[in-house]
Amino acid sequence: MAVHYYHPEWGTSCPIRGVLFDMDGLVLDTEKLYTRFWMEAARDLGYPMTKEQALGLRSLNRNAGQEKLTEYFGPGISYTAVRSRRIQLMDAHIEKYGIDVKPGIFQLMDHLQANGIASAITSSSPMENIHRHLSVHNLLHRFDKLCSGYGVPNGKPAPDIYLHGAASLNLRPEECLALEDSPTGILSAYRAGCLPVMIPDQDQPGEETVSILYAKADSLSDIISLLK
């Protein structure tokens, strides 16, 4: 089954008028790179990070990321230092090999445009990265608004970025599907009052995440069925 509903009654109160998109791991096939280079960066600095630990850093802001690394390795580790090394390694890889988009993004964007459904990027990435990475694939102009976690007081899992995303489209959160690949992002969307939809990337949602999902889909193109 391409789409599995968990709380379909959530979508009956008002029509869906907007779709809010996480970027990394959802629009762009970058999460596997984040996982790889968080591990490599940490190991370069003497911390043997596992894949599971790297996955735990998805979508976290600086403060939450520091807390997570401290939980893993103790108070001596610096999130800033590990992140700086991760950026260095990952940027070099992207410069050489580029980034792929996730399957179904162009079909979904075509459907949104044809049906007058608004769209916004709601990413934890800096705005500079949003512009650079989407431009490479001619996707920048396809979204009505671009929202960065660096432009709101609190990053994911706080609801700020999704509240900002909905407001940027002049919509209420409950009128918006929020598409995410990570538990942290799903929690952010849920707290904002959006309809959280997970398209798993690196792993499947756990029990706690499933309990707050509106739906789960196999790919971006499957989202079209949620909008009909």
**Residue 1: is its pLDDT beyond 70?**
no
Helix-helix angle 79-97:62-73, to 10 degrees = 110
Residues 136-175 have pLDDT tens digits of 999 999 999 999 999 999 989 999 999 999 999 999 999 9
Return the pLDDT at 159. 97
Residues 203-213 have pLDDT tens digits of 889 999 999 99
Task: Return d(Cα 14, Cα 177) in angstroms, integer.
Answer: 12
pLDDT confidence bin for 60, thresholds 50/70/90? confident
Residues 71-98 have pLDDT tens digits of 999 999 999 999 999 999 999 999 999 9
Task: Return d(Cα 56, Cα 94) in angstroms, integer.
Answer: 22
**Residue 13: is its pLDDT beyond 80?**
no
Instruction: Classify residue 220 by its DSSP letter.
Output: G
Q: Which CATH number applies to 3-29+100-226? A: 3.40.50.1000
Per-domain residue ranges of the chain: 3-29+100-226, 31-97
Mean per-residue pLDDT, 109-131:
96
Return the pLDDT at 213. 97
Share of residues in the chain with pLDDT > 70 (%): 100
pTM above the 0.85 mark? yes
Query: What dihedral angle (degrees, nearest 10) is formed by the CA atoms of 207, 208, 214, 218?
Result: -50
pLDDT confidence bin for 199, thresholds 50/70/90? very high
